[in-house]
Chains A and B, each alone.
Chain A
């Protein structure tokens, strides 16, 4: 498979340099790559760096980020704005704080649609309802009139996913999308990511500190440690034979490793 995204970056924050140290990663087309590492190791920093939004958090990045062969580091802010949302989608950790509490769901989705499209109210409404259906939410005008506070956490996360795939981006970055959810909702959202990949043929960078969810969903897994990718191989292979001592430590910390390893070995 061809590489959709390939990057080699270094960067960090003024008070915390070296969060990413010559970090190299490649995402193939239509794959789900799980990026794991302990909390605070720089996974979210990488997500913002890909979107070139790291400066908002006071961070800096240098190196190379190529999406479909196009060097993002050479693009200006205007060109990046055109890519954000249309070529790269983002889903954040906390669904409730990621939705604007003062706006109805319909208004927020419509706003995200109109950033990249011009069309009539009817066309916009049709596109929104179609996306709601894609993420198994009620495709009804009444649902669009709800405020975020009137949704469950699971519904809110589905709305965020609908928003992120609104323009069928080539790359979807999901930054700890299930860590605020209970186990059942977590499993539903993981299935939804798999379904979204099938429906839209998109590549997903699935960032999480939760190895189990990464094992469930990803084709390949990258392990991040001290600002570097220490291991990046097919998920089953990593669980079967973790090569790096840090990966071994991570897998040892899982109470269900024997079952997973056995399943991977079959």
Chain B
């Protein structure tokens, strides 16, 4: 297990470094079209061949990985901040405020998340620039993905607000925002870190789901979701197994995240 974890960390580091350095590592831009070689098989010039528009698939995988690897944590950060605000305040205040907020959270959790995501994204403008689509996709993931984490944070905040040190802080005259900020937030950090790291792979997969349906990051900017759209037609890809690379990469990256996170110590 220890070796599997080391391998997972090493793999994530290599993939992150390669994707972050895509400008230098990639043989071509993600949008550059080699019009004389569309749908080409892997070769020395094009390690994973080209797509039907003649774009170098290896370069697109690198740039797509960068989009997913950078923005899934951004969405997870947004979701964690929202969870901290909603769950932290509800757990700290307690009473009917907590009951109302947690009832709303439960209602939110009872909705099928993926369908909700698809519906809300479909309601938003689809004909937008690639950068806007990136912002919309991940802001949406963050705004819709806070509920589970908020429940955990709320339970932790409730337990903390009943602890001896919070009682003593109240007995010293501390209250309100001051008490929340100085005594609760520092103790909520571990659970927030955990929720953040757990959310990252979830949001990667959610983005891929949206991308497959054409609701994710807009062309020509690649992401794992948009790269997986190539797999829509199994008959076309059956003779081109290299097209599975983005899918395999997604599976291995998400599995590596889980391998790293299932250890006792989270990367806090």
Contacts and interface: CB of A to CB of B under 8 A. Distances in A.
A81 B173 contact: yes
Contacts of B174: 85, 111-112, 115
A11 to B, nearest CB: 17
A84 B170 contact: yes
B171 A94 contact: no
Contact of A101 (B162, B173, B178, B187): B187
Interface size class, chain B: 10 to 19
A-side interface mostly: mixed
B20 to A, nearest CB: 32
Interface in B184-235: 186-187, 189
B167 interface: yes
Given A101-B187, A102-B186, A103-B186, A84 B164 contact: no
Contacts of A53: 167, 170-171
A16 to B, nearest CB: 17
A85 B187 contact: no
Contact of B164 (A85, A86, A97, A102): A97
A100 B189 contact: no
Contacts, number: 73
B164 A94 contact: yes
A98 interface: yes
Contacts of A98: 164-165, 167-168
A84 B165 contact: no
Interface string B54-74: 000000000000000000000
A98 to B, nearest CB: 5
Interface of A: 51, 53, 56, 77, 81-86, 88-90, 92, 94, 97-103, 107, 111-112, 115-116, 160, 163-164, 166
Q: Which 8 A-B pairs have the closest CB atoms?
A: A85-B173, A102-B186, A85-B172, A90-B171, A115-B173, A97-B164, A84-B173, A100-B165
Given A85-B174, A94-B164, A160-B168, 13 more contacts: A51-B171, A83-B173, A85-B171, A86-B173, A100-B165, A100-B186, A103-B183, A111-B172, A111-B182, A111-B183, A115-B172, A115-B174, A116-B173
